[in-house]
Structure 1
């Protein structure tokens, strides 16, 4: 009998865990034919929560020791560390990544499994048909991000795609071959390739609690994605530096010619200072871009672990 591992990263999700578990269990119970030859197991990852999330894991593990397992980090290491830990510890022939808030509808699991078992695909991903219920400004920036990264990156990322997906063991093993410290899972899933299809679903509300992603966190996450999967910002910095160097040479020539022809001093000191401040700002902007990439290199060279497990069952 084959095994399906469900990876569920959690951070301060105490109110949603029991709801999630009961909902997913009902899906498996309602589809005995699709899951007749597949045993399922849960791998919850506690990303340093400071509420009762870990206690909920312990309760489920005591009640279902054969199907519910968990990892608990020593502190909050972030979403990507939780996903990486789940993939590294999952042992199933099929591996799913899900959010515990039920915004990833578990009702899709039977169809996802049937699609994989057909042998035509190695991964079944999911994507929202729309972003109904989200603030318009957040939807606008999300669309802008996908449009930008798909324009400047060789790895194409499907707009509105979720991390929620079911993968074969072969694809998971390929992902685990990428040991980098700085990770953007949506990009990694596409970078490794493999035959992938997507199922669409309507945007779902959270089953309980509130989202832990602020606008600033999402913005920083998008910067991480761009730095991880594109060199275009570095090329822009190079182009801007070259452009202003060229313009400065033209300016020097103009000043010299004006002095030789007219013999008067060059006026416009206020505009000159303004121009210098503008060029200085551009230089700092370009240095910031370069600094982001150097910072990523620095983190990679330290070879620190992506996470530290404090408790495991």
Structure 2
């Protein structure tokens, strides 16, 4: 029988975990044509997430867990889960039930019967989200698809089922600064997109604030595009052209009408504008230098403190 590994990153999900575990085991029971293992990644939770995972593992031999030494972020959690998975197929989903486990049979059918290498989900609506957050999310997808070679579908979730070959391709990308949505698109393979209506969290609170999502989007742009560096170069060139034309105008006015007394307000505006552009371009360079610096350190993406086999 084929084996499906279900990878579930968790951070402070004590309220949602019992509901998720009940639902995923129900779905696994209906899919009696496959074996299952459930791999929960405790991303340094500060609530009772880890004790719950210990209980699940003690009562169910299919449950495995990896507990980090501290909070390393969801990207690290997904990587740890993919590395720990031993199944012929690997599914990624969240513990808050916004990724409905009931869709898993449909994803499995797409991969095993329809010839796809990966079946992924995308939300058709963003009901329940603040309008400004939805607007910026859509803008991000448009921008990243225009300036990079990563194919990221609007509304795409991390919830997907992949063949082992796809998982191996993802694991071959060893960068420290990870942006999984971009990695999924970059590796390619035949992917079927399964749409579904947005589902509210079953319990608990979201860990993603607007500011965290904004920083995450910057991570994605820096990871899969050098367009910001080109923008900085173009801005510098345009300012040089404008400065040259302005010099010509000043020289011509001086020769024709004599020297005019310049005003401080206009001078200060020009200085502040040019200074702002320079700092903006330096900030772009700094972002890429920072990413390069972190990559060259070769630090591990995460550190494990405990698994279902005991404390390390």
TM-score by length of 1: 0.95
Equivalent residue number for residue 242 of structure 1? 237
Q: What's 1:20 paired with? A: 20
> In angstroms, what is the RMSD of aligned CA positions?
1.2
From 285, 294, 300, give the equivalent of 2:289: 294
Tell me, yes or no, if the aligned pair for 1:103 and 1:206 is still in contact at 8 Å: yes
**Alignment partner, residue 136 of structure 1:** 131
1:200 positional shift: 1.1
Q: CA deviation at 1:257?
A: 3.0
Residue 300 (structure 1) shift? 0.5
Deviates most, 102-111 or 264-273: 264-273
1:47 aligned to 33, 38, 43, which one? Answer: 43
- Written as runs of structure 1 = structure 2, the 5 A alignment for 1:127-206 is 127-206=122-201
Partner of 1:60: 56
Tell me which residue corresponds to 2:100. Answer: 105
Question: Residue by residue, what CA displacement relative to the aligned partner does 1:199-252 show, whole Å, maximum 9, x if unpaired?
Answer: 111111111111111110011111111111111111111000111112112222
Q: Return 5+ residue gaps in structure 1 as ranges.
A: none
Distance in 1, Cα, partners of 2:212 & 2:143:
18
1:86 correspondence with 2:87? no
Q: What whole-Å deviation, never above 9, does each CA across 1:68-121 have from its counterpart, x for those lacking one? A: 000011111111011111111111100000000010011111111122112611
Separation in 1, partners of 2:299, 2:237: 37
Q: Which runs of 5+ in 2 are unaligned?
A: none
- Tell me how far 1:270 sits from its aligned partner: 2.1
Number of the residue aligned with 2:299 = 304
The one of 110, 115, 118 aligned to 1:120: 115
| Contact in 2 for aligned 1:16/1:208 (Cα 8 Å) | yes
Is the Cα contact below 8 Å between 1:259 and 1:266 reproduced in 2?
no
1 CA distance for matches of 2:163 and 2:88? 6
Q: How many residues align?
A: 308
Q: 2: CA distance between counterparts of 1:242 and 1:266? A: 29
Mapped to 2, the partners of 1:300 and 1:100 lie a distance apart of 30
| CA offset digits 1:160-181 (Å, max 9, x no partner) | 0100000000010011110000
Q: What SS class does the counterpart of residue 15 from structure 1 fall into?
A: coil
Task: Work out the CA distance in 1 between the residues paired with 2:259 and 2:153.
Answer: 61
User: Contact 1:255–1:266 (CA<8 Å) still a contact in 2?
Assistant: no
TM-score (norm 2): 0.96
| 1:208 correspondence with 2:203 | yes
What residue is the counterpart of 2:29 in the other structure?
29
In structure 2, the residue matched to 1:5 is 5
1:267 is paired with a residue of what secondary structure? coil
In the alignment, the residues of structure 1 paired with residue 30 and residue 241 of structure 2 have an alpha-carbon distance, to the nearest angstrom, of 69
Match of 1:253 in 2: 248
